[in-house]
Amino acid sequence: MALKKKKLVIGNWKMNIFTTKEAEKLVAGIKKESLKTKNTDIVVAPPFVYLASLKGLVSKKVSLGAQNIFEETAGSYTGEVSAQHLTQFKVSYVIIGHSERRARGESDASISKKIVRALEHKITPVLCIGESVHDDHGEYLDFIKSQLASGLSGVSKMQISDVVIAYEPIWAIGAKEAMNSNQVHEMSLYIQKCIKEMYGAMVMMPRILYGGAVNADNAREIVDRGYVDGLLVGRESLKVENFVGIIKNVDLIK
């Protein structure tokens, strides 16, 4: 029998937190307040400039993530950061294909290459997928299927369980309310169906996360009743009490 994976909560700081002192204080606070969690893996994904300062704060409780990588390992790519750069900073996860980057022109081909690079350097890629419109005709399902197929095109059956899928419907990011748990469950099942079609019925499933308007009040409901493996959190990860509130409520789920 395969071991049950822990839940996973990732805090994506985006382009926020503007001093090293503030970044260190936030991570230290999350570590301190999460000491009693048992069933949840915690990841913080700060801007690149803080990785060197924060690597000394990572632990079995709190891992370090990055918000992006470049699709090549090395070369004449001014301003880019590769997966190889990140290994020295104890980076365990990297967010790839976030809707905010896709909106700025990041292509499916580039996202696929980035996932391959992350796996090559033993960094867990977090593939973000999500539709902009949840239409009544189900066209968004084909869109999600296409994002999965292209993003995972370089991932083998043996590697798929080393990937994390983060479903973030674009219309729910920054919204007043999250997707309801029944809708989350439907999408979780659909993502699993797509992966089985790609890799076979006996494939070992990756962890599937939800993101979009998550807070301490709805976190447990979304994960428990939405049957997902955790959450990708944005603005609520910027304050210790808010992020830890989410973590603790997810950790209560058996």
Residues with a catalytic annotation lie at 98, 168
Start-to-end CA distance of the chain, whole Å, equals: 17
Q: Given the DSSP bridges, would you call strands 164-167 and 7-12 parallel, antiparallel or unpaired?
A: unpaired
CA distance 117 to 123: 9
CA distance 10 to 219: 12
The answer for residues whose C-beta is within 8 angstroms of residue 243's C-beta and 6 or more apart is 9, 11, 30, 233, 236, 237
Tokens for 26, please give them. 């936030």
